[in-house]
């Protein structure tokens, strides 16, 4: 009987060992894969830092890596629009703002920056439409709304003969 238990225990051990064996043999060693989220967050943080440091061209590759990993990352798309606008690439900027707003229609920053782009493109009605959206998003006021209101007022003042 003792021998039967030993054989049964050995069979159980071998069964468990093979269940946890690595493919192709060898022993089981759990692996921790680096999180794509951590890499995404690091790239976004570096891109944001470079944007705030006004190093727009340097920020673009970091932000592009973010959207390569997560195509609908509204904040990265917004910053790509901003960086390209600051580099004078209005058509590229417009596409990124539109993608940011498709990903998150309530993104206050993208609505503000798109309004500013429309002012640069001398399209006051579209800038005012973005302001109307911001008024709906933050009826009590917010920085993005106030900034675009001020930009529109300045644009109108400069346009008066």
Residues 10 and 85 in one domain: no
**Domain containing 12: what range?**
1-31
**Per-residue pLDDT tens for 105-141?**
999 999 999 999 999 999 999 999 999 999 999 999 9
Instruction: Please state, rounded to an integer, the average pLDDT across all residues of the chain.
Output: 85
Residues 67 and 100 in one domain: yes
Residues 36 and 96 in one domain: yes
Residues 103 and 59 in one domain: yes
Helical spans, DSSP H, in 20-142: 36-52, 56-69, 74-86, 90-103, 108-120, 124-137
pLDDT band at 161 (very low <50, low <70, confident <90, very high): confident
Q: 84, exposed or middle or buried, with CB in 10 Å at 0-12, 13-18, 19+?
A: buried
Place of tokens 């921790």: 32
Residues 65 and 134 in one domain: yes
Residues 20 and 40 in one domain: no
157 CA to centre of own chain: 35
- Asked whether residue 65 is assigned to any structural domain, the reply reads yes
Residues 39 and 110 in one domain: yes
Residues 26 and 97 in one domain: no
Which tokens in the block code for residue 91? Answer: 């058509």
DSSP codes, 40-52? HHHHHHHHHHHHH
Residues 41 and 27 in one domain: no
Whole-model pTM?
Answer: 0.76
Residues 45 and 21 in one domain: no
Residues 17 and 73 in one domain: no
In the predicted model, what is the mean pLDDT of residues 55-80? 98
Tally of domains in the chain: 2
Residues 61 and 106 in one domain: yes
Contact 53, 83 (CB under 8 A): no
């Amino acid at each position: 009987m003792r021998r039967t238990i030993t054989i049964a225990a050995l069979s159980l051990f071998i069964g468990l060992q093979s269940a946890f064996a690595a493919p192709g043999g060898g022993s089981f060693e759990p692996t921790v894969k680096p999180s794509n989220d951590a890499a995404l967050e690091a790239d976004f943080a570096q891109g944001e830092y470079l944007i705030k440091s006004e190093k727009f061209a340097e920020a673009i590759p970091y932000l592009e890596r973010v959207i390569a990993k997560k195509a609908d990352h509204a904040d990265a798309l917004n910053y790509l629009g901003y960086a390209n606008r600051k580099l004078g690439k209005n058509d590229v900027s417009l596409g990124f703002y539109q993608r940011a707003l498709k990903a998150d229609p309530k993104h206050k920053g993208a609505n503000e920056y798109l309004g500013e782009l429309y002012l640069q493109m001398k399209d006051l009605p579209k800038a005012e439409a973005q302001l109307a959206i911001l008024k709906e998003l933050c009826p009590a006021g917010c920085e993005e709304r106030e900034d675009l209101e001020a930009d529109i007022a300045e644009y109108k003042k400069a346009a008066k003969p």
